[in-house]
Structure 1
């Protein structure tokens, strides 16, 4: 077995779904863990493909036959990994997998009879519970003292199923009591994305929850580093799928990374950075497929602060414009609008105003089946003012430093895309970004042209 940690340094390593997709992927990750003695806590996502199956299983209109097929597909993904381990370990693990899948079957049947968000969370949590058990054994197969740890012992949340809020104080106390002592002797493998409320019910932390879980654990354990291992070599100047001119960024500040994550860079969820920023824990983002290529360091202070750092793109944006002559020289109108939006738990991204109108943007979560701005919301807004709703828009964010003070920023950007219709511009609220809306059909071209002008 690998030696007991010989350094006081503690790194929390998070591996995403593609990083634990199959045996070879898990083996690469296990060797990453083994290569650095400071890697003491490993947080894993569900194996690639499993969460999609679980999402389908959590829906109402799933027949018993489809449920069985889905569960068999999940089992196939997992046993294709365990078959590469020794016969004794494989048999033991497969029994654990079957026990978990039996419990999953019961949850799926319950959901089909009476849908609830509580059962949805219970179903979605199975992916991480499966992958973490397997990964602990893969670590042991290469002589690392890996051990499974149920994160629900420490990750205590409220009961807001689907987007539970973590009790930071309780997490810190439980980590000190239950987790920290074991890390001196073992590499612990635990789950991202899931928690438990005070009733003992499973909760999930929502989109980006696995990375966020890892960051919260790093904070609670007073960790020295957080490593996010994914399938790309760090954070890029823009999405490499849009332009092959995109290049990896060696280092980036917390502020810049937060802006990038907020405005569409999918490599990192914005919530991940909040705990790291609170405790000044450096974050590393790299590829588990190519660890030798290095990655991106995210930290409080960086050596370079260029005017332009990256271009982020967020699709599926909705623009709502509310207009009322009553706004002119009147107070309280915006308060009424935002009170109504708050009632429907709607979060505004960008806002611009004129004398009698306000334009607001909303982000539709990727994969959502309907717009956040429902007919009910529109009808209630129309009791206050005229309302127009536009879909099919994309938000482009130019991320950098000193953008509110640097001369010629707007000119450089908008002269480059002077043949594109820009629907809304938001500039001045942040020193780190300039944002604007364009039609979805123009989005890739806009990013490509801007990247060529600002970076090449």
Structure 2
């Protein structure tokens, strides 16, 4: 009989899409779990490539022939994994997968007839539902007592489809009742990214929300550690695809990691660290392909606090400038601007002001299907002031420590890139970052130059 060694320590482990991309990838992850008895709750993303298919499937006016082709492509990815399991398991699992995919196709057909964000969420959630079912069986195949668990039983949210907000109290209550008892003698496999509203509808936390789901679950089940397994050996000083000089960071503080995630480092979802920081749960980031290489430890206190820790880059930024003489020596103008933004549920990233104008930046998440700053938003703002909207920008963030009280910071950074046009600078609100906007075409060069200058 398959069993799991009881342990006082509890680790929540999250595996990303590339970590569960195929059978060999899943098998590596299963062995990581088996090698450490503290791994009790496993959160998985959709298998690599599946979410992209689902995003396309969720669009408006997708022809039925394309819908069926997309579903068949998803089916091929998943059945390519199950074929490596025992015959009996494969047959039963394939029946379940095919049933889920038939349901997915029905959602897609509904979406074609009447598009809705509710149906979009239902479609996007299928990737995690499929991969978690399969991964539980892969664990069973190596004698680990893996058990599938539907996270919608505990991950209760509001009805804001596409970026649902989790009810933390409900999550904690449901986990204590439904999930924690199972962790005593089982390795539970569940889904990231998805939840359920009070009406029973499927919701999503936004693309990339699997890390955040794992952190929320770690908090709710009183986890001792959170492990994020991805395809790189930890967090780097910058994106290694931009410069070969980028190097892995052994340890980093919660504050620094939060700044990196917020300003573009794709290893962690920006909200991931909030639950970990609330409960002081150490976070490990490592590669499921090379677990022996170690990774990055994120914790409250670290041994060193260098002036420069990393450089983050976030693309697809929108800059909105509002200008009106009515701002001069007047009160309430910004409140009116922000009330319009709040009405449309828009979140401002950076802000700079002058006497009669304000510049605001907005992030357009990768994979989003529509512009955040719509004509409706602009029209409402124009009732107050002149409005200009600029696209094609990237945000560069230099992350470190004591950046508001260290002399020569500006010279060290901006003299290095004095041949580049800088559209906006934001500094002073945080001791952990200096941020500025550059043209998208200059972004890689700026990061490479700064990294060579600050980290050589």
Give the TM-score, by structure 1 length.
Answer: 0.98
The answer for the alignment partner of 1:382 in structure 2 is: 382
Q: Secondary structure of the equivalent of 2:415?
A: helix
- The whole-number CA distance in structure 2 between the counterparts of 1:376 and 1:101 is 37
The answer for the alignment partner of 2:161 in structure 1 is: 161
Residue 369 of structure 1, CA deviation: 4.1
Is the CA contact (8 Å cut-off) linking 2:6 and 2:185 kept in structure 1? no
Larger mean Cα displacement after TM superposition, 127-136 or 157-166: 157-166
Structure 1 residue 447 and structure 2 residue 447: aligned? yes
Is the CA contact (8 Å cut-off) linking 2:192 and 2:214 kept in structure 1? yes
The answer for the alignment partner of 2:151 in structure 1 is: 151
The answer for the alignment partner of 1:265 in structure 2 is: 265
The answer for the alignment partner of 1:70 in structure 2 is: 70
Residue 201 of structure 1, CA deviation: 1.5
Runs (4+) of structure 1 exceeding 4 A deviation are none
Cα-to-partner distance string for 1:217-264 (whole Å, 9 max, x where unaligned): 100000000000011111000000100000000000110001000000
The answer for the alignment partner of 2:119 in structure 1 is: 119
Structure 1 segment 14-93 matched on structure 2, within 5 A: 14-93=14-93
- The whole-number CA distance in structure 1 between the counterparts of 2:166 and 2:322 is 35
- The whole-number CA distance in structure 2 between the counterparts of 1:153 and 1:381 is 41
The answer for the alignment partner of 1:13 in structure 2 is: 13
Cα-to-partner distance string for 1:310-353 (whole Å, 9 max, x where unaligned): 00001111111111112111111111111111122211111111
Q: Secondary structure of the equivalent of 1:216?
A: helix
Residue 363 of structure 1, CA deviation: 1.0
Residue 154 of structure 1, CA deviation: 0.9
Q: Secondary structure of the equivalent of 1:271?
A: coil
Structure 1 residue 336 and structure 2 residue 339: aligned? no
Cα-to-partner distance string for 1:118-144 (whole Å, 9 max, x where unaligned): 111111111111100110110111111
Cα-to-partner distance string for 1:50-82 (whole Å, 9 max, x where unaligned): 111111111221111111111111110011000
Cα-to-partner distance string for 1:380-425 (whole Å, 9 max, x where unaligned): 2222122222211111000000000011111100111111111111
- The whole-number CA distance in structure 2 between the counterparts of 1:377 and 1:200 is 31
The answer for the alignment partner of 1:363 in structure 2 is: 363
Q: How many residues align?
A: 456
Is the CA contact (8 Å cut-off) linking 1:208 and 1:271 kept in structure 2? no
Structure 1 segment 310-325 matched on structure 2, within 5 A: 310-325=310-325
Residue 108 of structure 1, CA deviation: 1.4
The answer for the alignment partner of 1:304 in structure 2 is: 304
Give the TM-score, by structure 2 length.
Answer: 0.98
Cα-to-partner distance string for 1:14-37 (whole Å, 9 max, x where unaligned): 000110000000000000000100
Residue 192 of structure 1, CA deviation: 0.6
Q: Secondary structure of the equivalent of 1:347?
A: coil
- The whole-number CA distance in structure 2 between the counterparts of 1:372 and 1:232 is 31
Q: Secondary structure of the equivalent of 1:416?
A: coil
Q: Secondary structure of the equivalent of 2:31?
A: helix
Is the CA contact (8 Å cut-off) linking 1:5 and 1:184 kept in structure 2? no
Give me the CA root mean square deviation. 1.1
Structure 1 segment 246-285 matched on structure 2, within 5 A: 246-285=246-285
Larger mean Cα displacement after TM superposition, 446-455 or 350-359: 350-359
Q: Secondary structure of the equivalent of 1:285?
A: strand
Residue 159 of structure 1, CA deviation: 1.4
> Structure 1: where are the runs of 5+ without partners?
none
In structure 2, relative to structure 1, the CA distance for the partners of 1:3 and 1:93 (3 Å cut) is closer
- The whole-number CA distance in structure 2 between the counterparts of 1:122 and 1:368 is 16
- The whole-number CA distance in structure 1 between the counterparts of 2:58 and 2:439 is 34
